[in-house]
Amino acid sequence: MSIPTSQSPDIIKTDIAIIGGGNAGITLASKLKYQNALVFEPKTPEDRDVSWALWATGNDQKDIASATRGRWKQWRLVDHNHEILHNSNEYYYTSLSSADYLHYCEQQLSPNVGLVRETVENIISHGSGGTFTASGQQYYADHIFDSRPAKMDKAGLKQHFLGIEIRTKKPLKDIEIATLMDFRVDQSRGLHFIYALPFSDRSLLIESTMISTTIEPVDWYKQAIYQWLDGQSIEIEEITREELGIIPMHETTPKDTSLSKIGTSSGAIRLSSGYAFTHIQSQINQLASNIEKGDYRVPQVISGTISTLDKIYNRVLVAEPSLGVTLMMKTAGALDAEGFSRFMLGKATIKDWIKVILAMPKLPFLTQVFRL
């Protein structure tokens, strides 16, 4: 690797250092065209291949097309009583391979940007930059952007899941529909649903997802997946991939408060849903264009109002977990496909918000508003 920096015998100097080459870090690195920069990431894309999903329009495809594994204009939420089916004209629910996306960004790096597959340590910040080491080598950067995941609160609300990707014995039905939430599973330990994405008529991703404060044993999620598959008469020919995830649904504490944060550790994640991809993209696009103008401040992409509303929503979920299914079904039921996509993307109109607020049970929300 050639490092695009000025060097002295002891210390490598660069304009910008990015700690972590995950979604936020490598996206930022790929958009820097004029500055000398280094992005530090110890893991390869394959080490962390998971499924990232988002709502995207036809115009959003440029940077995600090569990583797209599937996209659906129809999606559904199901409980024991009914099914809500959304059919969108504008949005695709889109699932990406994170490894393919990270590879795509790595391939886009300009000659002035280097990727260092090492862990950053011993950071000492000075102003917006600082010094640090990686594999014993010392570095200095005028500006540092830190994307290391923040610390989660053990007792905080989380979305936690286990997913398997399978090849099925027989062709699947309804492969044009993504199942975002099927609540017909064990609800005794918290809000629980199955998420199922048919990538083809023989390939399916199924996740058992919980929204609660306590992580469950691996076999518990697996059992839920097998029971659901049984109920759908889907037989597994082969399990081709497995993924585990824990996403915070509470405010987290950054590893180092003196550095500029990007990505989820900067708060670019919806607390009520765990969706972050689109918010990170929006933050990084704005930041990259600001950097070209000499402005290194990291934009906050989720408004204070949305964060507060998300926190109230989550407080209701913690206080009254048995309401979880009703809240999710009523949110989806109040909106059409376009409104639901906007809502999930943090772009809901006033009309969308009014529809959702009117559909919610009032007392649990008022109780939590007064407790804020």
Ligand X SMILES: Cc1cc2nc3c(=O)[nH]c(=O)nc-3n(C[C@H](O)[C@H](O)[C@H](O)COP(=O)(O)OP(=O)(O)OC[C@H]3O[C@@H](n4cnc5c(N)ncnc54)[C@H](O)[C@@H]3O)c2cc1C
Q: Which of residues 306-365 bind ligand X (CB under 6 A)?
A: none
Distance between CA atoms of 33 and 23, rounded to whole angstroms? Answer: 18
Residue 19 within binding range of ligand X, rule CB under 6 A? yes
3-state helix vs strand vs coil in the chain, percent to 5 = 35, 35, 35
Q: Which of residues 107-136 bind ligand X (CB under 6 A)?
A: 119-120
Contact stretch for ligand X (CB under 6 A) within 37-45, 76-84, 200-208, 345-353: 37-45
Site string for ligand X, 136-175 (x = CB under 6 A): -----------xxx--------------------------
- HSE at residue 367, side-chain half, CA atoms within 13 A, is 12
Residue 100 within binding range of ligand X, rule CB under 6 A? no
CB of 174 to ligand X, least distance (A): 21
Residue 205 within binding range of ligand X, rule CB under 6 A? no
Contact stretch for ligand X (CB under 6 A) within 34-42, 61-69, 209-217, 339-347: 34-42
Nearest to 108 by CA among 149, 64, 53: 64
Q: Which of residues 269-298 bind ligand X (CB under 6 A)?
A: 275-277, 280
CA dist list (Å): 236 to 16, 164, 169, 198, 221: 48, 11, 6, 13, 16
Site string for ligand X, 245-264 (x = CB under 6 A): x-x---------------xx
Q: How many other CB atoms sit within 10 Å of the CB of residue 250?
A: 15
297 φ/ψ angles, rounded to the nearest 5 degrees? -75, 140
Q: CB-wise, 53 or 177, nearer to ligand X?
A: 53
Cβ pair 41, 115 in contact under 8 A: yes
Question: Which one-letter amino acid corresponds to residue 253?
Answer: T
The number of angstroms, rounded, from the C-alpha of 184 to the middle of its chain's C-alpha atoms is: 24
Q: Which residues bind ligand X (CB under 6 A)?
A: 19-25, 40-43, 48, 50-54, 119-120, 147-149, 243, 245, 247, 263-264, 275-277, 280
